[in-house]
Amino acid sequence: MASEPPFVIGISGASGAPIAVRVVAALREAGAPVAVVVSEGGRAVLREEAGLEDGAVLGTGVVAYSDRDLAAPIASGSFPTRGMAIVPCSGTTIAKVALGFGDSLLTRAAQVHLKERRRLVVVPRETPLTSVFLRHLATLSDLGAVVLPATPAYYLHPKSIDDVTEYVAGKVLDHLGVAHHLYRGWKAGVD
Ligand SMILES: Cc1cc2nc3c(=O)[nH]c(=O)nc-3n(C[C@H](O)[C@H](O)[C@H](O)COP(=O)(O)O)c2cc1C
């Protein structure tokens, strides 16, 4: 039997690398295959914020591709996937994807998801936002991508940065259509 198509997780150089680590782990916990591509900026932020080399987000069921490998399967629309999230998504990567650049595997895979009308979730992390950034986010939203900023939900009373990380990771899984226990929604379980 053919194996299930993977989710593609792109990790770019915005702050929020621990969210990416949690998303990959949660997809694996859900039994979903994952293809990961980390940009050069993503590698720097993974090291800085999570103390991890990019290999450390791998594990059983996770396939890693080099960002320079434009011949990787996920560079082609003929390769089936279950959707893609770019988490975290830098302003540079937002701009490239919105403008149609596909000069790295991460940006090319994003173009593939847009052109094939597959799920694409982008998780920007920047503040404040310039009009340029905002225009690119609007373009991506118009193209059908889900723009899911890495912002906390204070109404859920997070106790730690880990709670915030799990909340944002859970929102990403919500939009990839994968069940999880990363956060409990507003009044969940309250009669
Ligand atoms: C520690 C660190 C944190 C950064 N945080 C952000 C950020 O939150 N948002 C952003 O857009 N860029 C951020 N940057 C800058 C990007 O990494 C940089 O613009 C890079 O060129 C992005 O390239 P990429 O999108 O190919 O990964 C950060 C860089 C470093 C080293």
Residue with more model confidence, 149 or 52 = 149
**Which residue, 42, 3, 27, is CA-closest to 169?**
27
Interval 153-165 mean pLDDT: 96
Whether 91 contacts 124, CB under 8 Å: yes
User: How is the chain split into domains, by residue range?
Assistant: 7-176
191, pLDDT greater than 80: no
Q: Cβ(129) to ligand 1 under 6 A?
A: no
Predicted confidence band of residue 64 (pLDDT cuts 50, 70, 90): very high
* Helix (DSSP H) and strand (DSSP E) numbers for the chain: 6, 6
Condensed to tens digits (0 to 9), the pLDDT of residues 115-128 reads 999 999 999 999 99
Interval 157-164 mean pLDDT: 96
Domain 7-176 maps to which CATH number in 1.25.10.10, 3.30.360.10, 3.40.50.150, 3.40.50.1950? 3.40.50.1950
Which of 45, 47, 94, 104 to mutate for ligand 1's pocket (most ligand atoms within 8 Å of CB)?
A: 45
46, pLDDT greater than 90: yes
Interval 74-93 mean pLDDT: 98
